[in-house]
Amino acid sequence: MNHQRPCREDARDPAPWSNGAQAIGVPPFADVLADTHRVMRRAGSTLKLEGEVAGGHYVLFSGWLAVAKSMLDGHRQIVDVVLPGGFLDAVSADLCTSVVEIEALTDVSYAAIPRQDWQRLLRERPDLARASDGSVRAAMSRMSARMLRLGKGSADSIVAFALCELCLRSTGGGLSEGWAYHIPMTQQQLGDFCGLSAVHMCRTLQRFRRDDILELRAPMRMVIRDLPALAAIAEIDPPVLRQQIVPAA
Amino acid sequence: MNHQRPCREDARDPAPWSNGAQAIGVPPFADVLADTHRVMRRAGSTLKLEGEVAGGHYVLFSGWLAVAKSMLDGHRQIVDVVLPGGFLDAVSADLCTSVVEIEALTDVSYAAIPRQDWQRLLRERPDLARASDGSVRAAMSRMSARMLRLGKGSADSIVAFALCELCLRSTGGGLSEGWAYHIPMTQQQLGDFCGLSAVHMCRTLQRFRRDDILELRAPMRMVIRDLPALAAIAEIDPPVLRQQIVPAA
DNA sequence: GGGCGGGATTAACCAAGGTTAATGCGTCGG
DNA sequence: CCGACGCATTAACCTTGGTTAATCCCGCCC
């Protein structure tokens, strides 16, 4: 079963930079971070618990991370997803308490950089500082867009948006009809990302499939069949969204 | 009708720094920004439309700003609220498109600083850079916390959270029983902030009032009657939340 | 091959909130 | 003093999405 169109590699693919979402000089700042402690984690492991005293900054080399928070009843919200090349500063205003919980959606490798070193790096490497700045800015754009849909959108609109966002980011800008890509999350996790229950996530995906907007080759392997329809539901314009949420556009 | 407890001044109060939420050296960086173009706007005016080409950075001197986005059907979500002393960078990853719409909730005065100048200022004034950094960090903490409730919380939990957040920020840390404060927003706007309809916002507030959690002296003038209950509904610990969402704690 | 386990799918039911619309209430301008 | 307007309040009704639970599917291990 071959695809007629270009097909992205699996995000679990061992080649670290294959899906370099925010690839800013693939691999990103390898020289700067060469002597940094490099950490690997298996899919499903939790890197840091909410409220725990935080280490500092992370630069993700490969794999996907979910940044999440939970309510007392156990319901989780994935606040953002970090892709290869992405930066993550899991620290709140007080500079020491982490407000979030970080989960590896796939096997990951990343650099964990103590606050002091990070500050020094930023001063020494303006390019790093610029990239980090752009990353923060993109993250805020994405979060704003998702907040809008979380608060005032329908389930359809958030799901469509999430599909577009993750496609745009994971393929580095490709969002076109027939494009096949993989989201390395379960429907439960995608639901947590969209503020929906797993059941309703499933319902929505199936409806998209029946309406020929989406093709589901295998669990979480999507092909966009009707991009105009998807973009309309998501209320986005793909090229514009790309500029806003993918850093170093 | 005098209050038995300390009562904050009206946020529309002419004294510019009276409610200095994130007051970092009241007034914030007046020296740095002395020669900057200072702008005033009336309550209700819109400073910038979504998608418009953006100017750059803002430093808010007095009044409240709402940062919002809207869906095609006109439904709005207030993504964040900026208080006196707060910084605002309404620019997305591409460094030129604004992703949001900014509305003055009260009469405001602020400095609008072009990107270039801002960059220079940051280089020249490490204290400003630190403050700006802290402000961004705090904004992200707040947004994460609100996203969690938007996605997975009940109406009660978001409203309670918003009440705590705005009290903490507008009074500079005070969140205690009997404390009276004013939120210069209509219920419609507070609803847009919480992802709720104005009607449900009203219902919720009234329920809090009936349950003796809140007292509503006049529209949007609240007194917290039962802080433990409110904090429990919001699922927060006031001092901890303060550290996380109020910069320069 | 058979049992197991995790995720996906589906249906039936339920409840939290949205919508609409009527009403109240206070302020402001004439 | 009146009317208009903007906001708050309340009730009635209905939609969307959550919950529960049964079933399925597929890969894996024995």
pLDDT in tens, chain A (249 residues): 333 333 333 333 333 333 333 333 455 666 666 666 788 899 999 887 666 666 678 999 999 999 999 999 999 999 999 999 999 987 776 766 778 899 999 999 998 888 888 888 888 888 888 899 899 999 999 999 999 999 999 999 999 999 999 999 998 777 777 788 999 999 999 999 999 999 999 999 999 999 999 999 888 999 999 999 999 999 999 999 998 888 875
Q: What is the pLDDT at residue B126?
A: 87
Q: Which residues in chain B have their CB less than 8 angstroms from residue A240's CB? A: 51, 97
**Which of these CATH numbers, 1.10.940.10, 1.10.10.10, 1.10.8.60, 1.10.510.10, describes B152-245?**
1.10.10.10
Distance CA B233, CA B207 (A): 13
Identify which of B97, B145, B157 has the shortest CB distance to residue A244.
B97
Q: How confident is the model at residue B14 (pLDDT cuts 50, 70, 90)?
A: very low
pLDDT digits (tens, 9 = 90+) for B88-114: 987 776 766 778 899 999 999 998 888
Looking at residue A13, what is its pLDDT?
A: 36
Burial letters B154-176, b for 16+ CB under 10 A, else e: ebbbbbbbbbbbbbbbbbbbebe
Instruction: Report whether A94 contacts A60 (CB < 8 A).
Output: no
Residue B240 has pLDDT above 50, yes or no: yes
Structure tokens at B96: 């030129």
Find the mean pLDDT for residues B65-75.
Answer: 95
Question: Which strands sit side by side in the sheet containing A76-82, from one edge to the other?
Answer: A46-48, A101-104, A65-70, A76-82
CATH code for the domain defined by B38-139 = 2.60.120.10
A139 touches chain B (CB under 8 A): yes
Are A100 and B75 a contacting pair at CB < 8 A? no
Lowest mean pLDDT among B34-43, B102-111, B158-167, B208-217: B34-43
What pLDDT does B5 receive? 37
Using alpha carbons, select from B208, B211, B66, B82 the residue that is nearest to residue B138: B82
Q: Which single residue is written with the structure tokens 């679990």?
A: A12
Q: What is the mean pLDDT of chain B?
A: 83
A15: distance to nearest CA of chain B, Å? 27
Residue A218 is inside which H or E element, if any?
strand A214-218
CATH of A38-138, one of 2.60.40.420, 2.60.120.10, 3.40.50.2300, 3.30.450.40: 2.60.120.10
Kindly report the backbone phi and psi dihedral angles of residue A43, in degrees, each rounded to the nearest multiple of 5, phi listed first: -55, 135
CB B63 within 8 A of CB B10: no
Burial class (CB in 10 A: 0-12, 13-18, 19+), A150: buried
Q: Which residue has the higher pLDDT, B8 or B246?
A: B246
Pairwise CB contact (< 8 Å): B147 & A150: yes
pLDDT of residue B113: 86
Identify the closest residue of chain B to A22 by CA–CA distance.
B93
Distance from CA of A249 to the nearest CA of B (A): 6
Residue ranges of the domains in chain B? 38-139, 152-245
Confidence of residue B4 (pLDDT cuts 50, 70, 90): very low
Q: Do A99 and B247 touch (CB under 8 A)?
A: no
Nucleic strand C near CB of residue A219 (< 7 Å): yes
Here the tokens at position B215 are 């007292």
Q: Are B247 and B135 in contact (CB under 8 A)?
A: yes
C-alpha dist (Å) from residue B222 to A115, A174, B219? 40, 50, 8
Torsion of CA A181, A187, A192, A197, to 10 degrees: 140
- B188, closest nucleotide (Cα–C1'): D7
pLDDT for position A66: 96
Grade residue B20 by pLDDT with cuts at 50, 70 and 90. very low
Question: Which CATH class, in words, describes the domain spanning A153-245?
Answer: mainly alpha
The pLDDT of residue B54 is above 70: no
Q: What is the pLDDT of residue B6?
A: 38
Q: How many CB pairs under 8 A join A and B?
A: 153
Tokens for B50? 């979504």
Least confident of A96-100, B12-16, B52-56, B222-226: B12-16
> Looking up tokens 């709402």, which residue turns up?
B66
The residue-averaged pLDDT of B155-168 equals 97
pTM for the full predicted model: 0.88
Sheet arrangement for strand B38-41: B38-41, B108-114, B56-62, B87-89
Cβ-Cβ contacts under 8 Å for B106 (sequence gap 6 or more): B11, B12, B43, B63, B64, B184
Answer yes or no: is pLDDT of B228 > 50: yes
Nearest to B95 by CA among B118, B127, B69, B120: B118
pLDDT of residue A178: 78
Please list the alpha-helical segments (H only) found in chain A: 115-124, 126-152, 155-170, 187-194, 198-210, 227-234, 238-245
Q: Which residues of B touch A89 (CB under 8 A)?
A: 137
B149 vs A73: CA distance, rounded Å: 12
| Interchain pair B77, A195: CB under 8 A | no
Closest C-alpha among A103, A48, A97 to residue A80 = A103
pLDDT the model gives residue A61: 92
**B155/A138 Cα distance (integer angstroms):** 29
- Torsion-angle region of A212 (φ positive above 0: left; ψ -120 to 50: alpha; else: beta): left
In sequence order, what are the residues at sequence separation of 6 or more whose Cβ sits closer than 8 angstroms to the Cβ of residue B183? B11, B163, B166, B170, B190, B220, B222
